[in-house]
Amino acid sequence: MNIQTAFTPESLNLQSSQTVQDVVINSLNTAIVLLNHELEVMFINQAAESLLELSEKRVKGQRLPAKVPGWKGIESLLYESLQTGQTYTHRQKQIHLASTHSVTVDFTITPISENEWPRLLLELMPVDRYMRIDRDALTREHQEATHQIMRGLAHEIKNPLGGIRGSAQLLAGELPNAELLEYTGIIIEETDRLKTLVDKMLGPNAPTEMKSGNIHEILERARKLIELEADYPLDITRDYDPSIPELLMDSDLIFQAVLNILRNAMQALDQRENARMTIRTRTERQFTIAAHRHRNVLRIEFLDNGPGIPDSLKDHLFLPMISGRPSGTGLGLSLAHTIVRQHRGIIELNSEPGRTEFIIIIPLELPTL
């Protein structure tokens, strides 16, 4: 059998309406869209349907810019490519889709002139996952370096604090006037407070109570506590997947991580009109964390309609002592990140004015520590 006869619809068990080219193009991970000179969709492969959240039936024969209105500037760029005959490539372009979801892509526009009317071949490669892996690796490096510094600093702080506290206790026993005990009491309280703060900066120890538990019970405990703490009307929507299996975890630490994230959102929403939060759970298949690909992961999403996080803070938000509030300690999110890392997971952040999303992702096949 020669090459020409080897790849035929019959040899590949294809339907008569299918061609080898259709099968190959639809099997590509790269999203491909073919447009005519009026920017109407002539062909869209399955990867493009999934990426752009558009079915072939809905979009074929329709103008692409009208179907992806959140893709700013694409229409003028497509027309420019038609007129000049030049190929254009753009890196890390963010596209806002109809579902309010956004994706980041590298894309190339290639003009094709086979007949009287030119066509455009649009290739899109999603890069969110690669950017996330790079960002997570950088965050891990920064946190590890920061923790090394904090360990040394904590040692230098806690030693004299112990001496100060002990001396204050001895002094309290020698004071002739009971009214002066108030001052030694302040010294002892403040040294204890500083010691607690240093311990928090170092983060919790590795999980010690790794047991199977229901993540939704933990989320409900944290939700009820946040609703009690909020001193303003706060609407919290729950969107749980009941099919999620039990997770091997330290329940107390995971509860603390969830509570810190919800409390951060509650504080950002303080006194905001129509304050809303959503807690959503899902599973996801074939997800990469720290260069290791997991078959199944748990995905917990925390969304709020707050003011968003400033761009200047986004890359440093999980580091100790970084806070967007004047009264914040900058420890809550850092502790949450440390706890999730101890469970072999990651925390992702997507934020813009009016919509902030924290996502905890933890492998479901977590090994016993």
Question: d(Cα 162, Cα 176) in Å, to the nearest integer?
Answer: 24
Per-residue pLDDT 10s for the chain (369 aa) are 444 444 444 544 545 445 666 677 777 778 899 999 899 999 999 888 888 888 888 889 999 988 888 888 888 999 999 889 899 998 888 888 776 667 888 899 999 876 677 889 999 988 876 766 666 666 666 666 666 666 677 777 777 888 888 888 888 888 888 778 888 888 888 888 888 777 766 666 666 678 899 999 999 999 999 998 888 889 999 999 999 999 999 888 899 899 999 999 998 888 778 899 999 999 988 887 877 888 899 999 999 998 888 877 877 777 765 655 555 556 788 888 888 988 989 888 888 888 899 999 999 975 544
Which residue, of 83, 110, 126, is where some domain finishes? 126
- The per-residue pLDDT for 327 is 56
Residues 173 and 219 reside in one and the same domain:
no
Residues 297 and 355 reside in one and the same domain:
yes
Residues 193 and 260 reside in one and the same domain:
no
H-assigned helices in the chain: 3-6, 20-27, 46-52, 56-59, 64-67, 74-84, 128-174, 181-202, 215-229, 251-268, 311-314, 332-342
Residues 242 and 189 reside in one and the same domain:
no
Which residue, of 202, 236, 258, is where some domain finishes? 202
Residues 279 and 325 reside in one and the same domain:
yes
Position 369 in a domain: no
Whether the Cβ atoms of residue 261 and residue 304 lie closer than 8 Å to each other: no
Residues 11 and 68 reside in one and the same domain:
yes
To the question of pTM greater than 0.95 for the whole model, the response is no
Residues 170 and 224 reside in one and the same domain:
no
Residue 147, classed as helix, strand or coil, is helix
Structural domain count of the chain? 3
- The per-residue pLDDT for 23 is 72
Q: Which domain holds residue 262?
A: 210-363
